[in-house]
Amino acid sequence: MFHLFLHFLVPALMAVFFFPKRWKRAYLIMMATMLVDIDHLLANPVYDPGRCSIGFHALHQLWLVLLYILLCFVPRTRLIGLGLTIHMALDAIDCKMTNGMWIT
Q: In Å, what is the CA distance from 40 to each residue of 15, 56, 59, 95?
A: 26, 9, 9, 15
Summarised one tens digit per residue, pLDDT across range 6-63 is 999 999 999 999 999 999 999 999 999 999 999 999 999 988 888 899 999 999 999 9
Residue 83 in domain: yes
Residue 92 in domain: yes
Residue 36 in domain: yes
How many folded domains does the chain comprise?
1
**What domain range includes position 19?**
2-99
pLDDT at residue 69 greater than cutoff 90: yes
Residue 53 in domain: yes
What is d(CA 11, CA 86) in angstroms, rounded to the nearest whole number?
7
Supply the pTM of this predicted model: 0.93
Torsions phi, psi for 83 (to 5 deg): -60, -45
Residue 18 in domain: yes
Residues in the chain: 104
Residue 39 in domain: yes
The answer to whether residues 11 and 86 touch, using CB atoms and an 8 Å cutoff, is yes
Summarised one tens digit per residue, pLDDT across range 27-37 is 999 999 999 99
The answer to whether residues 85 and 65 touch, using CB atoms and an 8 Å cutoff, is yes
The answer to whether residues 29 and 79 touch, using CB atoms and an 8 Å cutoff, is yes
Residue 87 is classified by DSSP as H
Over residues 58-74, the mean pLDDT reads: 97
Residue 104 in domain: no
The answer to whether residues 87 and 33 touch, using CB atoms and an 8 Å cutoff, is yes
